Structure 1
Amino acid sequence: MDWLRDHMWETWLALAVMLGVAEMFSLDLVLIMLAVGAMAGVLTAALGMPVVVQVLAVAAASVGALALARPSLVKKLHGGPELRLGHGKLVGVQGVVTEEVSALEHGRIKLAGEIWSAAPYDETITIAPGETVEVLQIRGATAYVHPIPRLDS
C-alpha cells in the first residue's frame, strides 16, 4: 500500500493512458473525458495532495468534462452538411430554358450542363426560352421549375 501511495501519479497516468486507448475502440468520447479526469489525478498526486483530494479532483474533472466539453464535441463531430445524392442535389439549382415550358407542353432546360425535360411548378404560367429558372422539384426525369425574376435596367 505504501508503494501505491508513493507512486500515485504514475497510477493515475497509467489509468489515463488505458482510458485513452480504450476510447480508440469505443469512439463515444466518454472514456477520453474520464482520461481527462485521471490527468487531474496525475496533477494533484504530483503536487502531493492526499488521496481523498485526488479522487475528488478526478471526479470533478471527469464530470465537468462529460457535462461541459463532450456535448459540444459530439455535436461538432457528428454534425455536418446534408449529403444529397443523385438528382436530389439539383433541387435549388438554376438553369436556362431552351424550349418553351408550359403545363400543356413540357419543354427543356439546360441544367448543370445537361438537358432536362421541364414543366412549370405553377401550372398557370408559361416560361419562354432564354429565361432563367430555379428547380423546385424533380419527379422522375422531369424538373419542375419556376422562373427567376429579372432586374432589367
Structure 2
Amino acid sequence: MAALIWLVAGVLLAAAEALTGDLFLLMLAGGALGTAGIASLTDFPIWLDAIVFGVLSIALLVGVRPMLLRRFAAPPPTATNVAALTGKHALVLEEVGEHAGQVKLDGDVWTARPLDATESYPAGTTVTVMKIDGATAVVWKGL
C-alpha cells in the first residue's frame, strides 16, 4: 500500500512540475518514484520510506538539477528570428524620420524609425539596426 501512495505522490509531483518548470518538483517526483520502487520490494516502516525519499530527493536536487538547469537554461548559441537582425546593416529606401521610413534589411522591406527621434536619414543611407520594436526596425547611422 505504501508503494502505491509513493507512486501517486510521484505522479502528482511530476504533473505539478509542468506548471512551474523550475525542475524542483521533478526532483521530488523522482525521489517519490524511487521510494515507490523500494517500498514495493521491501517492507520498511513508513518513517524509513520517508528517509529514503529525503535522501533520494536531496541527491537529485544536488546532483541532477544543476546539470539540467545548465543544459536547459542556456540561451541558443546563435540568435534567430528577429533577435538575429540586431546589429545588421540596412539600406534606407524611403527617408527614415520620427514617424515614417522604410529600410531594406536582409532582403525584406521594413518600416523604420531612428533611434534618436530628432534625426532623419535620407534614402540611400546605410544604417545599423539597433533593435526591432514590433514590426519596426529602430536604426542608427552611427559615426
TM-score tier (shorter): 0.5 to 0.7
TM-score by length of 2: 0.56
Cα distance per residue 1:2-59 (max 9 Å; x no partner): xxxxx01000000001101111111111001000000121111111231233211111
Match of 1:86 in 2: 85
- Equivalent of 1:11, from 5, 16, 19? 5
**Contact kept in structure 2, 1:44 and 1:53, CA below 8 Å:** no
Structure 1 pair 87–66 and aligned structure 2 pair: CA distance change class (3 A): closer
Structure 1 residue 87, shift from structure 2 partner: 4.0
Rg larger in structure: 1
Aligned residues: 97
Structure 1 residue 117, shift from structure 2 partner: 3.9
Structure 1 pair 86–15 and aligned structure 2 pair: CA distance change class (3 A): same
Match of 1:35 in 2: 29
Taking only aligned residues, the RMSD between alpha carbons, in angstroms, comes to 2.8
Summarize the alignment of residues 40-59 of structure 1 with structure 2, pairs less than 5 Å apart.
Answer: 40-51=34-45, 52-59=47-54
Q: Which runs of 5+ in 2 are unaligned?
A: 90-105, 108-123, 128-138
Q: Which runs of 5+ in 1 are unaligned?
A: 1-6, 92-111, 119-138, 145-153
**1:20 and 2:32 are equivalent in the alignment:** no
Structure 1 residue 86, shift from structure 2 partner: 3.0
**Contact kept in structure 2, 1:23 and 1:31, CA below 8 Å:** yes
Match of 2:140 in 1: 140
**1:77 and 2:92 are equivalent in the alignment:** no
Match of 2:132 in 1: none
Q: What is the distance in 2 between the residues matched to 1:66 and 1:87? A: 38
Structure 1 pair 140–53 and aligned structure 2 pair: CA distance change class (3 A): same
TM-score by length of 1: 0.53
Match of 1:126 in 2: none
